[in-house]
Amino acid sequence: MTEVPEFQPTICACTVATAAELPAVKVLSSSFLAEHPEGRFVALIVDAQPEHAGPGLITPLEIGVSEVELHVLATSLDADALKAAILPRLLEALLSQGMPVLYLDPWVQVFGSLTKLVLEALRNAPVALLPRTLRPLPSDGLQPGPAELHELGAFDPGFIAVAEGAEPYLGSLDMPAIVPHFVVRDARVGVSVWNVADRPLHRTDSGALAVVGQDLLTVHFRGFDPRRPWLLSADFAERPRVLLSEHAEVAELCTAYRAELVRCGWSVQPVPYRFDSLVDGTQIPSELRADYRAASPTPLPAFGEDGGGGFLVWACEQTENGGTRWADAVWRADSSLQEQFPAPFGADADAWREWCAGVGVASGRLPAPAVPQPREEGPALLDQLGVSVVGSGPLAELMLAAARASGLPVSTSAGYPVVIRTSAADEVPAGRFVVEVALDATAADDRTGVNELWLSSDVSRAAAERIGGPIVRVVPVPVHDVGAREHSAGEVVVFAAIADHSLDRPGNVLGAVSAFLSAFPDRSDVELRIAVSGAFEHPEAAERLRLATASDQRISLVEDEDVCLTADAVVSLHRGGADDRIALRLASLAVRGVPVVASDHGAVAELFGKTAVLVPCHQGAEPDVQAAAKLLRSLADDLPTAAALGAAGREHVLSVRSVTRVSEILRERVEHSYRGWRARRPKPKPEVDPMLALQSAKHALLRQPNVDGPHRTPMAPALRKVVLRALDHYDNHMRQVLHTLIDGVERTVSELVNRQDALKAGVGAGELELLRAEVEQVAERQSHFGDQLVGVDDGVVRVRADMAGQGRRLRDIEDAVIGEATKRAKATDVLAERIDKLTVALDRTLDRIDTLESKVVEVFRERDSRLDSAIRAASHAQQTADALRRVVVRQHEASGDAPEVRSSLVLCDAGMMRLPSDDAFMLPLLSSNGVWEPDLAAQLDSVLEPDGIFLDVGAYVGYHSIRVLSRLGLMGAVVAVEPDASAAALLRHNVSANLPAAVAARLTVIEGAAWESAGELAVAPTLTGGVSVSPLAADAGEDVARVKSVRLDKELEEISLVQGMKLSVVRVDTPGRGHRALAGLVRLLRRDRPQVFLEFSATATADFGDDPVTVLKEFGVWGYDLVPLATGQAASADQIVKAMEGLRSITLWLRPRPVGAKPAAPSPSVPIKQPADQAI
């Protein structure tokens, strides 16, 4: 049995796509395999499920990408970035099979074999790339242009060929400069929106598509949207360089490609990207993906086995500014939100949180757990003398130590009225006295909200004071006394310097190096040790210092600040600009007993005085290096003097900068600030006399009961009088007892109040004992009065027993009344409860209405502002457009070939049009407006058939003919009828000047007047341009101007271009003569039933000798409804003629009725709105 050899492909093509691009992948696969029977095709779908793999269709798992790695990549990258990340892995896997690999974008369609071209290219380099275009793109404002090419890259990412040896460079294909590659400069490959303007497509004799005379190989349709097939690329829709209406072959190619996509499964319903959103449909913002890439360690992915729960927890964590990662990412990714909420973590925090909880969650832009939490309120204000120190860092810790040593109550939150902060970033609640401690402040610094500014020196205060700024006080920053160092001189004299590269110029460490080298050019018993900080953040300054000290072994750079404590002296030849910070650092060394050599200026000189070696400075703050060198030599030769100087410096610094000394100054300033804060606080409310309530209640004993009040029971007032008369004696007795009791209570309370006032004024302990005894006596008297009240109660009980009979008789009445009252009370309670609920709901509704009103007012204000800006921009744009129109017209008139007819050039929506110079109507209107009869033009566009005939009777200079030709392109035909020879010449010129030759060839011009019969007509010029025709009189002489008349149905039959076409639209612009022109076309009107647009003038028709009503009724006999274009409603002939009173003409739409249909019923009244100056 003969064995069939196994298929061995010579080239392998591949692509990387998403599930949404699967129809395009199928088109690519089928077109490639049809042209490459010797090849193999592989498609990798990044978001396909593993079970969906099949022949030629693989998933990332099949090329070695684990499921966890895929989920991490899909979380951190969007669809395009994920495909770019997977591509090198796919190419590497396919290269291992030992054949060249060609990557093609999913939106590529193959029309010819690429094998020979790819193999020849790969013989020159392991990687072959294709440029987007072979010619520079012009900078003419069209897209794509040079800017887009620079942004997206010069090479086409949809064509990459690799061979053996390309493996090391697969991860760097986006950087072709470091990849050995060969550039494929073949115009047949990669025809796209970038280059099709320079590579015109055409058909060969065999019908195949060709470019530059050779068969087309590939077309890249990246950006083509099947829902918008009129665009070659939806990515460049604003000002496209390539218009399909101007490239017929490209348009045909797009139509065929769209049909292939539909055949392969494309539909209007979009296919979702699997890694675009969470399980609940919430889309992951791009900025959150970037945060996920930057996170360390990598959080759980959004598409893992936990269903994205771990990712959601990470994304909804609160950030330092009070928001959440997800909400912050949504804000950063949307510029409109940044404009709406410029401070989402400050003044706009509440509004931003409301948007997140409402619109954000409802629109699926962020999940509910990602809504930022409400801002925490600041600490409650404690109105007492104390100080709050807020902030972090060494400066805050030093001020906190001084505050605690002051003896004042201290807090690290802003609870006390006086708040000391060390950074403007530390937020302080309103209503506090804010003190800011700063180093090296300037007058230009923003100190908004600061009441006092504390600086460490008078020099800094003079530099920071300004009019309108906060009060500046000198309160030095303390230094901790940790004791003097234990130091003994060695064989080598060690000097130390400080190199803080963040203060490179003010610190002037190079000055210290120069002074050291000048002082000791050849001594080996001296060293300079430099404590370095900030080298990583300031590499340039660090390198400059390293280069300056590299040649001298006596100078060492150490990243340890304690190196200064082991030196015999510390040197600081600083300049101006950071005096306070340098002074604080030198003070922390001087307090340990280290001698200081420093520049004699600024805060350092003010701090040390004569307890340090001060180097004189030149004009300004530049230290004298030579003087410093002499002082260093003196110190090196006299170390005991240096030690004594260090001890004196320690004592002096402790006397002015110790924590104890600074705490005294701080306490004094805080007490002063607190008093000032209290003075500005509103005064407390006046105290109310505690006796007032008791005195008011006393008057209640004088009130008499009201027995005449209304009641539902008629006998109630009489019964009240009887009971009151029976209890009158006991009532008077009770009133006397209660008067006596209340008088006693009043005297007692008055005495207590007086004694409390005395206690406030400083009553002693003995008087308190006396007051306590009197209070006990008052209590005994109250007990006695209580016994008396018990006796009174017994008398009342006896009276009640006597009245028991009357009570029994009244009880029956009361029961009945109570029963009825209970029912009414229940109904009243229910009603009151409902009223309360409605009141609450009404209050809420009013609150919401107020909120909405404020929002609406703000929206209207913003809209008005934007509208004003838009109006100004539109006015400017209109002025610019008018100027550009005039420039273009003058340029075109200077460079163009004008016809022999005397004419003027105007720019309109149809192009550059020439009109007769004596045209007094259409020329000025078209020149100023740029459009002519826009309503008619729009209606013509809506009814135009692409393969039909457009008949333009009275075409004049061809405005509508040119518009229709530009829309029909190479399909359909236009026949223009014009009796005026000069106008016909201008018509031909305008068509040739504004349309391609192929499109212009679809026009046929009939020079003559359309009439009901062939012959001759008299012709006369009109005031508004053009000519008017009329029947030739029998006695007309030879001097009468004549024009031939034609019957249009016969003329159309003789035109070969329109043979086999259907008459689609007829426009007749001959007011008063249009019915005669249509009479010569009636046979075609009844056969093809075209749409007819007629300029109708009742007065001109009557002047011509015809009855307007009869003419209009004749159109109805032909099978047409009369529709005024201005109203769009059918009307009768009488209504139209009646409505035209006062009008010169109107545009009538003769709308063909369906075969067999009755005439449309006219409207009761048809208003015809037509300008009175409509052209005839």
d(CA 129, CA 1021): 67
For residue 888, which phi and psi values (nearest 5 degrees)?
-65, -40
CB-based burial label for 206 (10 Å; 0-12, 13-18, 19+): exposed
Q: Is the pLDDT of residue 105 over 80?
A: yes
In one-letter notation, the amino acid at residue 79 is: A
Rounded to 5 degrees, φ, ψ at 1021 are -70, 155
**Nearest CA to 387 among 656, 663, 682?**
663
> CA 16, CA 135: separation in Å to the nearest integer?
29
563 by DSSP, 3-state: which? helix
Q: How confident is the model at residue 805 (pLDDT cuts 50, 70, 90)?
A: very low
Highest mean pLDDT: which range of 693-697, 827-831, 1000-1004? 1000-1004
How does residue 420 score in pLDDT terms, banded at 50, 70 and 90?
A: very high
Give residue 172's pLDDT: 85
Dist CA 459 CA 634 (whole Å): 30
Chain mean pLDDT for the chain: 83
- Residue 797's pLDDT band (boundaries 50, 70, 90)? very low
Pick the CATH number of 933-1096 from 2.40.110.10, 3.40.50.150, 3.30.70.990, 3.10.28.10: 3.40.50.150
pLDDT recorded at residue 1172: 31
Mean pLDDT, residues 1145-1150 taken together: 88
Q: Side chain identity at 1091, as an amino acid letter?
A: Q
Confidence of residue 204 (pLDDT cuts 50, 70, 90): confident
The mean per-residue pLDDT over the stretch 245-255 comes to 89
DSSP string, 720-754: HHHHHHHTHHHHHHHHHHHHHHHHHHHHHHHHHHH
pLDDT at 840: 82
Query: Residue 509 corresponds to which amino acid?
Result: V
Least confident range from 69-78, 269-278, 1163-1172: namely 1163-1172
pLDDT (0 to 100) of residue 71: 92
- 479: which strand partners? 658
- Region 936-951: mean pLDDT is 87
CB atoms within 10 A of CB 207: 6
The answer to which of 242-246, 326-330, 766-770, 1142-1146 has the lowest mean pLDDT is 766-770
**Residue 719 pLDDT:** 72
Q: Is there a shared CATH topology between the 11-263 domain and the 493-657 domain? A: no
Confidence at residue 529, expressed as pLDDT on a 0 to 100 scale: 93
Looking at residue 771, its pLDDT comes to 65
Residues in the chain, total: 1176
pLDDT at residue 725 tops 90: no
pLDDT of residue 901: 77
Write out pLDDT tens, residues 1066-1076.
999 888 888 88
- Ranking 342-356, 669-683, 964-978, 1151-1165 by mean pLDDT, the lowest is 1151-1165
Helix, coil or strand: residue 953:
strand
Q: So what's the pLDDT on residue 222?
A: 92
CATH ID of 11-263, from 3.30.2010, 2.40.70, 3.90.550, 3.30.450 = 3.90.550
Band (pLDDT 50/70/90 cuts) for residue 280 is confident
289 with 76: CB under 8 angstroms?
Answer: yes
Q: Kindly report the pTM of this predicted structure.
A: 0.49
Rounded-to-integer distance, Cα 325 and Cα 329, Å: 6
Model pLDDT, residue 378: 66
- The predicted structure's pLDDT at residue 1143: 77
Q: Is the pLDDT of residue 1161 over 60?
A: no
The mean pLDDT of 364-371, rounded to a whole number, is 86
Which pLDDT score, from 0 to 100, does residue 621 have? 79
**Does residue 979 contact residue 1027 with C-beta atoms inside 8 Å?**
yes
Average pLDDT over residues 117-140: 92
Query: Distance between CA atoms of 198 and 937, rounded to whole angstroms?
Result: 33
Question: 529 forms bridges with which residues in the sheet?
Answer: 496, 556
600 vs 732: which has the higher pLDDT = 600
Residue 320 to residue 983: CA distance in whole angstroms? 77
Q: Which one-letter amino acid corresponds to residue 212?
A: V
DSSP state letter for 279: T
**220 contacts: CB under 8 Å, gap ≥ 6:** 105, 107, 108, 156, 158, 159, 190, 191, 192
CA dihedral (279, 280, 286, 291) in degrees, to 10, reads -70
Let me know: does 957 contact 986? Beta carbons within 8 Å: yes
CB 589 within 8 A of CB 604: no
- 740 has a pLDDT exceeding 90: no
Task: Lowest mean pLDDT of 272-276, 813-817, 1041-1045, name the range.
Answer: 813-817
- What pLDDT, on a 0 to 100 scale, did the predictor assign at position 800? 46
Q: What is the 3-state secondary structure (H, E, C) of 299-344?
A: CCCCCCCCCCHHHHHHHCCECCCCCEHHHHHHHHHCHHHHHHCCCC
Query: What is the predicted pLDDT for the residue at 4?
Result: 40
Residue 783 phi/psi, 5-degree rounding, is -65, -40
Just give the CATH number of 493-657: 3.40.50.2000
Domain positions in the chain? 11-263, 286-365, 377-478+658-681, 493-657, 693-802, 933-1096
Q: Three-state SS string across 494-539, please?
A: EEEEEEEHHHHHHHCHHHHHHHHHHHCCCCCCEEEEEEEECCCCCH
Residue 235 token pair: 């990515």
For 170-186, write each residue's pLDDT tens digit: 888 888 888 899 999 99
Q: In what order do the strands lie in the sheet with 410-411?
A: 410-411, 387-390, 418-421, 433-437, 452-455, 471-474
pLDDT score of 976 = 92
Per-residue pLDDT at 847: 83
Query: Which residues have C-beta within 8 Å of that of residue 850, sequence separation ≥ 6?
Result: none
pLDDT bucket at 437, cuts 50 / 70 / 90: very high
